[in-house]
Each structure stands twice: as structure tokens, then as C-alpha cells.
Amino acid sequence: MDHPSRYVFLGAGAIGSALGGLLARQGREVLLVARGEHARVMADRGVTLRCPDLTETVAVPVATAPDEAHLTVDDVLVLTAKTPQAADVLDTWGDAPVHDRDGIEVGRAADVLPVLVALNGVAGEEIALRRAERVFAVCVWCPTVLLEPGEVIVRGAPLRGVFHLGRYGHSPDPAADSSLLASIATDWEPAGCLVRPTDAVMGWKYRKLIANTGNALEALLGDTTGAEDITTAARAEAEEVLGAADLPVVGKEEARAGWEPEGLEFLPVPGEPAQLGGSSWQSLMRGTGSIESDYLNGEIALTARRIGRPAPVNAGLTALARRAAREGLRPGSITADELRRALGLE
Ligand SMILES: NC(=O)C1=CN([C@@H]2O[C@H](COP(=O)(O)OP(=O)(O)OC[C@H]3O[C@@H](n4cnc5c(N)ncnc54)[C@H](OP(=O)(O)O)[C@@H]3O)[C@@H](O)[C@H]2O)C=CC1
Ligand SMILES: CC(C)(CO)C(=O)C(=O)O
């Protein structure tokens, strides 16, 4: 790419608003696609970043619909809605017209623009590849929290996140892809976001999926202290199922070396509670009515069913988390003992 990119975050919640704000703060062009009160607050006064080492409100352009966006060939779409919302947001934005630098319409977004799938789990890439030509998988290691409209808590400092990134599906032009990934690294790294291009990106995503089987536990229990045995059971089952299915999981040691030496830590953020949870916990805290567990624990249950293995812990967690979201329950709706009983872990 010989022209600066604009990063268009499709579904700018915790991750999209954090990345958008951090990039905008460094002078990069961004567009945050959001909705509801969160979109209104960001459009009126910007996004407030609450980090361990700074609090700052950054002006960001916001769009709620494609006709507010004027997409061009220099745009990079970054899918950051949660997996259950991914198809809907891509359907809406994939049909948006894209213009060249002279303002001539050159095609639809899904045919012309790169789509980075910055989601947990491994299902988002197939959802995107059904709809878009040029898809990249992203393994997102970037703890952020959205509880109040317009305000995002970024828990890492000075490093904000580590992103393993690679082409998903066949690439007709690997050199163009490498050049895009290199320009993303150049744009994102000054914002504290390390970009690690890799052909093994799905292996990183599978490794992270194993860790993310704990998301449902945080969402259900609120505080997972004293429930480490349940987290361990969910992760061990996930490791066993993915291994039995011969899926390409990056090894534990390699993953540790890839994430930890970068120095990314979950640090306390001044004025914010010490006890904050991950993305699924936030869905229940915000009462969104939906949760991503079908694509996290549910991915383990699905894989197990495909190969004829049991996965009772992850299947049980999927069902309980889905019900909690549907019924509007907040984190802490069940005790660790009740959960052990429900999952047959006693
Ligand atoms: N938060 C974190 O720390 C991390 C999250 N991840 C992963 O990143 C992905 C995103 O997570 P996260 O940022 O936490 O999720 P959020 O729910 O905070 O953000 C998604 C946002 O997209 C909005 N949205 C959904 N559909 C549309 C639409 N059609 N038009 C406009 N806006 C829309 C949602 O609005 P509404 O709320 O109204 O539905 C929400 O604000 C997930 O896969 C998650 O697992 C990965 C690593 C860390
Ligand atoms: C930040 C992290 C690793 C755990 O909280 C995450 O992936 C999530 O919140 O979904």
C-alpha cells in the first residue's frame, strides 16, 4: 500500500474503541462503526481511554451506517463486533460502495477491501470468508473493558496489546498481503499494539481459544477465586479435544514466549475496580442479551461432537452462559458449588 490506510472498526465496543482511540491518538485515520448510546457519546465528545498510565479523551469519527462512511480503496475493515453479531455487521457493511481516490465507485466493500477478523474463537474467519474476498485472521491479546458508553478501560501499559495476524484462505498475491501486514505493523506499533505477522495465525487462535474457555466461568461466577479447578477442567478438556481433532494449536511454551516476553500485563487502572472481567463477563455486566460462549466453549463442544468425543464441561458451560445472557443475569448468578454440580464435576 502506497497510501496511508484508514482503519474502519466494524462494531467498535471494547476492542474496536480502544484500538480506534489509541490509533487516532497517534494521528492515524480511523472510523468507529458503533451504535446506540456508545456511538452517540463517542460522536459528541470522543472516546475516553482509561489506561494504567493515562486518561485521555480522543476525538474519533463515528458512523452508524454505511452512507455515513464514504469507504475508499485505502480503507482496511477490522471486524470487532462479537462473533454472534459478525454476520449481521458484515452483511450491512459488505455491500457498501467503495470509491477510488478520484471518487469513482469501484465495487463493494466485501469484494474490494481487506477484512481483519479481530475476534476470539475460530469461527469469525469462516463467517467473513463466506462474505469477503480478502480475509485476515487476527489473534487478539489486548485486555479492554467497556462498561460505560464512550469510555474504554485499557488494562495494559505501556504495551496495550499483541496481535498475531495472517491471511485466511487462499492468497492470490502473498506479496501484497505481506506488504499490507507490514504497513499495519508500522501504523499500530506506535500506539503500543505489537503486530506479529504469521502463517500460523489459526494455531495462535486455537491456543487462545483454550484460555477463553474460562470466559464463561467469569461471566457466570463473577469472581473465579476458589473455582480454579473448574477453569482447569474446561481448559484441559479443550486441549484434549482440539488435540484429538488434530487441530493446529500453537504449543503452550511457544505461546508463552510469544505473549509474555512482550511485557503485556493486566495492570490496575486508577479509579476503576480491581476486579474487572473479560469480554463475556462484560456482556452480562452490560445486559446485552447475548454472549459469545457458543463460539468459545461451544467450539469445543462442536469439535468434540464432530469426532465422537465427550466434552461435558464445555457443553455445559455453553448452555449455562447462553441461558444467563438470555435471562439478563449478571455475573455471580451462580456459586462455584452449584456450577460444579451442574457440570458433573463433584
Ligand atoms: N474485550 C477484550 O478484552 C477482548 C475481546 N476480544 C474479542 O474481541 C471481540 C470483540 O469483543 P469486545 O470488543 O469485548 O465486544 P463488545 O461487545 O464490547 O464490542 C462489540 C461492539 O459492536 C457493536 N455492534 C454489534 N453489531 C453492530 C452493528 N450491526 N452496528 C454497529 N455496532 C455493532 C456492539 O454494540 P451493542 O453493545 O449495542 O451490541 C458493541 O458495542 C470478541 O470476539 C472478543 O472475544 C479479544 C481479546 C480481548
Ligand atoms: C482479555 C482476555 C485475554 C481475557 O480477559 C480476553 O481474551 C477476553 O476478554 O475475551
Strand partners, 97: 108
Q: Would you state the pLDDT for residue 261? A: 54
CA-proximal residue: ligand 2, atom 9 (nearest)? 278
Contact (CB, 8 A) for 36 and 62: no
Write down the pLDDT at residue 265: 80
Find the 199 Cα to ligand 2 centroid distance in Å: 23
Q: Which residues of the chain have pLDDT under 50?
A: 1
CA distances from residue 140 to 16, 177, 258, 271, 343 in whole angstroms, order as listed: 11, 19, 12, 25, 29
Ligand 1 pocket check: which of 35, 207, 288 to mutate, most ligand atoms within 8 Å of Cβ? 35
- What are the grid coordinates assigned to 249, written together? 494449536
Considering Cα of 110, then 90, then 213, then 53, what sign does the dihedral take?
A: positive
DSSP states along 21-77: HHHHHTT-EEEEE--HHHHHHHHHH-EEEE-SS-EEEE---EESSGGGT-EETTEEE
The predicted complex's ipTM stands at 0.99
Domains of the chain: 6-199 (3.40.50.720), 208-247+272-343 (1.10.1040.10)
Mutational test site, ligand 1, from 33, 67, 80, 267, max ligand atoms within 8 Å of CB: 80
Q: Compute, in angstroms, the gap from residue 12 CA to the centroid of ligand 1.
A: 6
The DSSP call for residue 80 is -
Q: Which atom of ligand 2 is nearest to the CA of 279?
A: 9
- Residue 208 CA, closest ligand 2 atom number: 7
Whole-number pLDDT of residue 346: 85
What pLDDT was estimated at residue 262? 62
- Of the listed ligands, the closest to the CA of 14 is 1
Residue 17 confidence (pLDDT): 98
Q: How many CB atoms lie within 10 A of CB 40?
A: 15
pLDDT at 95: 97
Asked whether 22 lines ligand 1 (CB < 6 A), one says no
CA of 119 to the centre of ligand 2 (A): 10
What residues flank ligand 2, with Cβ below 6 Å?
Answer: 120, 143, 212, 215, 278-279
Task: Output the residue whose Cα is nearest ligand 1's atom 16.
Answer: 13
Pocket of ligand 1 contains residue 292 by CB under 6 Å = yes
| Number of helices followed by number of strands (H, E) in the chain | 14, 15
The whole-number pLDDT of residue 264 equals: 78
120, 138, 147, 264: residue to mutate for ligand 2 pocket, most atoms within 8 A of CB: 120
Query: What's the pLDDT score for residue 257?
Result: 81
Query: Is residue 11 in contact with ligand 1, taking CB distance under 6 Å?
Result: yes
- Model pLDDT for residues 253-272, shown as the tens digit of each residue: 899 887 775 667 888 999 99
